[in-house]
Structure 1
Amino acid sequence: MFKYVIFDVDGTILDTERAILKSLDQVLREEGHAYPIEELRFALGIPGQETLRKLKVNDMERVHSKWSQAVLEFSHEVEVFEGLREVIQSLPVIPVRTGIVTSKTKQQLADEFEPFGLTSNFEQIVCADDTKNHKPHPDPLLLCLAKLNAPPNEAIYIGDSVYDMQCAKEAGVKFALALWGAKRRKGFESADYVLAEPKDMLQLLNE
């Protein structure tokens, strides 16, 4: 059914929620801004600079760099979602071709994703600094499709945020909600598929 599977990273492959929110909270407090953690959840799934722009943070470049370093302090709280490593490694057998579209920059991907040893499982990777426009704009996903030479109707994008879903819809790609990362169905009523756990992906791809 699908010949190409493209993944988001944060909240889809890696459980990064605690690290992102705790580091953002820490940096904002150091900069004299305090918000309840729940009010910072919008930061999950969009580029860091976009988050700081929405928060109207001054000296954004400096604070973004500071936040990127702070995230690494919480790296012990980041892990690959249970069962996902095995699913990713089994995809070539189906066979399907794979890619990543992430809001991480190339440097963040190197620091925060590559240590988990999964990078080689993906044919193409599009990061935040590869396109001028970012999710929910379709450009990052369209670039990944072009790199894979993949027709949109043969691809599926797996993500955990509304930004991921909007990006997929605008790119003409089916969207599968990674419920293990999103933790909720509300707001995702227009998702094409809902995957309760990683192994559900194999069932969908084998249909």
Structure 2
Amino acid sequence: MNRAALFDVDGTLADTNHLHVTCWWEAFRQAGHDVAMHDIHRAIGLPGEDLLAHLLGNDRDHGGDERLTAAHDTLYATWFDRLPGLDRAADLLRELDRRGWRVVLVTSASEAELTALRAAVGADDAITATASSDDVSRGKPAPDPVHHALELADAAARDAVFVGDTVWDMKAATRADVVCVGLLSGGIPRRDLEEAGARAVYRHPADLLAGLDDSPFADGSGEGGKQ
């Protein structure tokens, strides 16, 4: 039976959450919306359409959505050649691959963003597949992207572990019956991640790598973990 190591990317493998916050803030400012950076930060990890609904409400004028998203994408693209991967992220993926886990990226990033993020992480040799919100009808926190990732890995939920940095990641994994691990590298508090379903919480990829033998990755059942 295959074992699947499912990973979010922004804030989990790459130190990009605050870049997204800044780019969304500027996109909102250009469109005449006053949205606090703190609120934007808590929405990072949602697909673009859901992020706009979360921050601006469902009763907004949807006519400006495409322009807002395009503004964010244009601003964020200026960072593509220097996106920072998180310390030891590549080593973590390679070690899991060496141990027989099928590594699948589960992200809300666009194809262009994902290409830049994969270059920043620098571990394509350890990645089996990628699953994005574009591949399913509903993105995180719905379980659909996680279900799709399991299909790509040809693995059952009980034989998978999901690693992410937002409450949306934890909720998506929990709703898919997959054990989830939270990382603090995206800036979300430990308590929020635990309340959203995190079985274990680590500071960053290097911390998880150092504690891998005492983590939910120690076997395929999701037992163990650092609290």
Structures share a fold, TM > 0.5?
A: yes
70-79 or 131-140: which moved more? 70-79
2:152 is aligned, of 147, 156, 167, to 147
Instruction: Confirm or deny that 1:79 pairs with 2:76.
Output: no
Q: Which residue of 2 aligns with 1:6?
A: 6
Contact 2:160 2:179 in 1 (8 A): yes
Instruction: Confirm or deny that 1:115 pairs with 2:119.
Output: yes
In structure 2, runs of 5+ residues without a counterpart are 220-227
Structure 1 CA distance for aligned equivalents of residues 165 and 4 of structure 2: 18
Give the aligned CA root-mean-square deviation in angstroms.
2.0
In structure 2, relative to structure 1, the CA distance for the partners of 1:43 and 1:183 (3 Å cut) is: closer
Superposition misfits of 4+ residues, deviation over 4 angstroms = none
Instruction: Confirm or deny that 1:165 pairs with 2:170.
Output: yes
Q: Which residue of 2 aligns with 1:37?
A: 37
Structure 1 CA distance for aligned equivalents of residues 128 and 86 of structure 2: 21
Structure 2 CA distance for aligned equivalents of residues 183 and 25 of structure 1: 18
- Number of aligned residue pairs: give it: 205
SS at match of 1:45: coil
In structure 1, runs of 5+ residues without a counterpart are none
Instruction: Confirm or deny that 1:133 pairs with 2:129.
Output: no
Q: Which amino acid aligns with 1:197?
A: H
Contact 2:5 2:160 in 1 (8 A): yes
Contact 1:94 1:206 in 2 (8 A): no
90-99 or 181-190: which moved more? 181-190
Instruction: Confirm or deny that 1:51 pairs with 2:51.
Output: yes
SS at match of 2:190: coil
Higher relative contact order by CA 8 Å / sep ≥ 6: 1 or 2?
1
Contact 1:15 1:81 in 2 (8 A): yes
Structure 2 CA distance for aligned equivalents of residues 182 and 32 of structure 1: 27
Q: Which amino acid aligns with 1:85?
A: A
SS at match of 1:79: coil
Structure 1 CA distance for aligned equivalents of residues 36 and 63 of structure 2: 20
Structure 1 CA distance for aligned equivalents of residues 185 and 64 of structure 2: 35
**Displacement of 1:62 after TM fit?**
2.3
Contact 1:179 1:185 in 2 (8 A): yes
**Displacement of 1:161 after TM fit?**
0.7
Contact 2:80 2:113 in 1 (8 A): no
**Displacement of 1:46 after TM fit?**
0.6
Contact 1:177 1:191 in 2 (8 A): yes
**Displacement of 1:76 after TM fit?**
6.6
Instruction: Confirm or deny that 1:25 pairs with 2:30.
Output: no
Contact 2:83 2:117 in 1 (8 A): no
